Amino acid sequence: MPGLPTLLFTAALLAAGQATGPAPAADPESETITITGERFNRPQMRARSYAYIRQTLADTNNGQHARWFGSICPRVIGARPETAAMFIDRIATAAAVLKVRVEPEGCRPNIAIWFTEDAKALMHKIADKSPRALDSTSMADQRRLLNGDDPVRWFYDTRSEGESGQTIGEGSAALGAQLGSTNAPNSNNRASSTRMSAGSRVALIGATVIIDVPRAEGQALEALAAQSVMLVFSRTRLAAKREASSSILTLFSPRPPETRPTDLSPVDEAFLVALYKTDPNQWASQQGALIVNAMIDDLFKRRETGTP
């Protein structure tokens, strides 16, 4: 995607000291990969990938990881037109890679990115206007959304679906009403549950990201847009603890500004691709294993081919 902001397949993942010419066959368990200066073999990368999804992804009722199945319609509120366009373009670029359909201009939004001078006041206004807007959010996260001081806060609307898209459990609907969104179309096909398939999945049907402008002062808009991509396409834990990593979720972590990320990390990118390419109808433990395996394969493939 030349000319567009980087999203996926942008970080060089070359092993240190890689030789030119044909390489001898290597033991898969001893292969190494270098990511932002750190060198890992497959077992280490597996452990890190599992820790990543545990720390990053928010819990759902049945433990499965949520993603978009229907089309998306993003809207940016409170920003200058050129800023809004940049955020929308970044989301559209990600959607194209992840094979999520973006509705044409004029659609009814189910994704909202707010720029506000007082995020806490806006959250209280949303909660007062749409009492069920936070139904998909834990009580602890509700308290943090309403009373915390995070420079960026976010919440989601989700629902449980059968493996073909038929509704099992509705989302809050209040978020959809607040944003004027429409839910993904349902299917009348019956779901089946087997030992290999749970016969169900968790769908994202709404996402809201609120950027507190005074508290976010000093951060590059491009970095905020990259973080918004991560938050929009995965149901991310509000209190994700990523302080020691290069994940874009560490943008506001207590570390020197010069060491903070400016874009999605290679692991962020590999995770998003894995989330959207693996079977979403698996039982929770199996789904997590499939995501981790896909992440590792993606990272090592780029290392082996030298894909930038």
- Going from N- to C-terminal start, the domains of the chain cover 55-185+198-288
Give, rounded to a whole angstrom, the gap between the first and last alpha carbons of the chain.
Answer: 12
Mean pLDDT of 30-49: 64
Q: How confident is the model at residue 157 (pLDDT cuts 50, 70, 90)?
A: very high
Q: What pLDDT, on the 0 to 100 scale, is given for residue 39?
A: 60
Q: What pLDDT, on the 0 to 100 scale, is given for residue 63?
A: 80
Q: What pLDDT, on the 0 to 100 scale, is given for residue 124?
A: 95
Mean pLDDT of all residues belonging to the chain: 77
The DSSP line for 157-197 is EEEEEETTS-EEE---SHHHHHHT--PPPP--PPP---SS-
Give yes or no for a contact between 48 and 85, defined as CB atoms under 8 angstroms apart.
no
Name the pTM for this structure.
0.77
Strands 111-116 and 200-212: parallel
Q: What pLDDT, on the 0 to 100 scale, is given for residue 197?
A: 62
Residue 8, pLDDT above cutoff 70: no
The rounded percent of the chain whose pLDDT value lies above 70 is: 71
Top pLDDT among 225 and 267 is at 225
